[in-house]
């Protein structure tokens, strides 16, 4: 199993994710790799001198190294699974859409991230703003000016769009067009994706990440625990921000219709003015647009291709410890809370264990480690080890008829179907976006 970490394509390191728990308990070999981030990994200029997607190429070379060398570590080069979370989840989907990886891995697990998410790509070359920021715009050769700077001077994790780019090389077309398209130019990428077994899922409060990183700036709050969201802010600031930044309507009329649809869907009309209810609505909207619909769209696209197996999950656990700063009014799994269970941290006294886990969480971790490593071994999370002894459930494949998914809770796992059907249908059929989503 090859782990690709997340961090919005601007931060992260493999050392943050000790893998001895999942490796030992799940009886497998786990490789964690690093890749270039931020400007170093994803700068792209209009003239092609800075081609972009350096971080994706790094990941590809790491995966290729595993294929070429894992036998020396008693591994099987024909039995490889890549997995990752957040930007790492988007990354493994990008790798699954690159036919140059043919034969290097057979299965993919994308946790709270997809290449089809709006945040997982940028549309225009991003070097020009960076060149100006670094005062190289007046230089005879701006690229050489950049290259003359020290790594410290080049380091930049600002809001510039450091993310993968459709370069017609590694990313042959938009991920949406690859997965759902029929064009012959994308057929090799689509066929490779179809051939893989694919698992993806979300945390039920994934969108709480945006309460820390996005909404405070837009709504002018400094502390997520002191949010007092008003009805006027919800419909006058938050909803228009989603429409402008994500849906990107072509005219005012479309924008107004989209705003009204979001208002109708995400308002609790029994408590339309209640601040706490509006905060949950804001979190749901953030979850849907950034994580839930991209995951559902990706697994549905994979299932529609009808070759490899497809699985969908939701983590709805109330953890003793959140991975990220989390508002005190959220009772569920924030973004990145899945990692501690997938890596088995509650099961041993390792460097990432808090030591405060409940017996329920230890049982959950044992079940998730078992299902993740089962999937890596067989393409089926239910076998070879019987995971029902820990989860009390069988994980059914996702298909277009039943659209089954498995919900992990503190009490075990529950089988479900049609994940958030009404909200997913809204984004699928009524609110197609300029990129990323299928609509």
- Would residue 140 count as lying in a domain? no
Inter-CA distances, 87 with 54, 147, 410, Å = 15, 27, 26
Q: Say if 381 falls within a structural domain.
A: yes
Burial grade of 51 (CB within 10 A; 0-12, 13-18, 19 or more): middle
**pLDDT at res. 439:** 32
Query: Active-site residue among 23, 45, 86, 114?
Result: 86
Mean pLDDT in order along the chain per 10 residues (439 residues)? 96 95 96 95 91 96 98 96 98 98 98 96 89 92 93 76 92 96 96 98 96 82 76 95 90 93 96 93 96 97 97 97 90 96 94 88 97 98 94 96 97 95 92 47
Instruction: Please tell me the total count of domains within the chain.
Output: 1
Residue 86 among the catalytic residues? yes
| 134 part of a folded domain | no
CA distance 9 to 38: 6
> What whole-number percentage of the chain has pLDDT above 70?
96
Residue 117 domain-assigned? yes
Q: Residue 156: inside a domain, yes or no?
A: no
Gap between the Cα atoms of 124 and 121, Å rounded: 10
CATH number at 90 reads 3.40.50.1820
Phi, psi of 308 (to 5 degrees): -70, 165
Tell me, yes or no, whether 429 lies in a domain.
no
Give pairs for 167-170: CB < 8 Å, separation 24+: 167/44, 167/51, 167/52, 167/53, 169/51, 169/53, 170/53, 170/56, 170/57, 170/60, 170/94, 170/98, 170/100
Distance CA 264, CA 258 (A): 10
- Structural domain includes residue 241: no
Tell me: the pLDDT tens digits for 145-178?
999 999 888 887 665 679 999 999 999 999 999 9
Q: How many residues does the chain have?
A: 439
pLDDT digits (tens, 9 = 90+) for 389-420: 999 999 999 999 999 999 999 999 999 999 99
Domain annotation covers residue 278 = no
Q: Mean pLDDT in the chain?
A: 93
Q: What pLDDT is recorded for position 406? A: 98
Q: What is the span of the domain harbouring residue 405?
A: 2-126+161-205+290-421
Contacts of 420 (CB under 8 A, 6+ apart): 288, 292, 296
pTM, 2 dp: 0.95
Q: Identify the pLDDT of residue 434.
A: 42
């Amino acid at each position: 199993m090859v782990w690709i970490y997340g961090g919005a394509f601007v931060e992260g390191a493999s050392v943050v994710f000790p893998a001895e728990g999942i490796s030992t308990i799940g009886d497998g070999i786990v490789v964690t790799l690093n890749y270039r981030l931020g400007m170093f990994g994803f700068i792209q200029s209009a003239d092609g001198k800075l081609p972009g997607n350096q971080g994706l190429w790094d990941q590809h070379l790491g995966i290729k190294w595993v294929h070429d060398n894992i036998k020396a570590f008693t591994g099987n080069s024909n039995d490889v699974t890549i997995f990752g979370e957040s930007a790492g989840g988007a990354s493994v989907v990008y790798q699954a859409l690159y036919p140059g990886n043919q034969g290097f891995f057979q299965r993919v697990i994308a946790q709270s991230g997809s290449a089809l998410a709006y945040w997982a790509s940028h549309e225009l070359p991003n070097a020009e703003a960076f060149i100006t920021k670094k005062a190289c715009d007046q230089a005879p050769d701006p690229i050489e000016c950049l290259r003359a700077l020290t790594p410290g001077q080049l380091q930049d994790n600002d809001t510039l769009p450091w993310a993968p780019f459709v370069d017609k090389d590694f990313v042959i077309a938009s991920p949406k067009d690859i997965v759902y398209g029929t064009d012959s130019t994308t057929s090799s990428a689509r066929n490779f994706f179809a051939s893989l077994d694919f698992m993806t899922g979300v945390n039920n409060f994934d969108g709480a990440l945006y309460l820390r990183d996005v909404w405070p700036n837009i709504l002018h709050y400094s502390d997520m625990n002191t949010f007092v969201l008003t009805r006027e802010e919800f419909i006058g600031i938050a909803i228009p921000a989603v429409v402008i930044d994500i849906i990107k309507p072509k005219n005012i009329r479309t924008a107004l219709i989209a705003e009204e649809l979001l208002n109708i869907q995400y308002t609790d009309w029994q408590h339309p003015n209640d601040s706490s209810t509006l905060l949950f609505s804001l979190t749901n909207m953030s979850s849907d647009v950034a994580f839930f619909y991209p995951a559902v769209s990706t697994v549905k696209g994979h299932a529609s291709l009808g070759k490899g197996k497809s699985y969908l999950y939701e983590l709805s656990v109330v953890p003793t410890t959140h991975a990220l700063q989390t508002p005190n009014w959220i009772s569920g799994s924030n973004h990145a809370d899945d990692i501690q269970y997938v890596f088995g941290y509650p099961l041993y006294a390792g460097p990432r264990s808090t030591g405060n886990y409940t017996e329920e969480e230890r049982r959950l971790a044992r079940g998730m480690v078992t299902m993740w490593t089962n999937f890596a071994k067989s393409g089926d999370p239910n076998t070879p080890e019987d995971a029902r002894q820990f989860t009390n459930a069988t994980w059914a494949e996702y298909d277009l008829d039943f659209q089954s998914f498995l919900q992990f809770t503190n009490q075990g796992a529950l089988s479900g179907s049609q994940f958030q059907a009404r909200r997913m249908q809204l984004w699928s059929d009524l609110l197609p976006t300029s990129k990323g989503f299928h609509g």
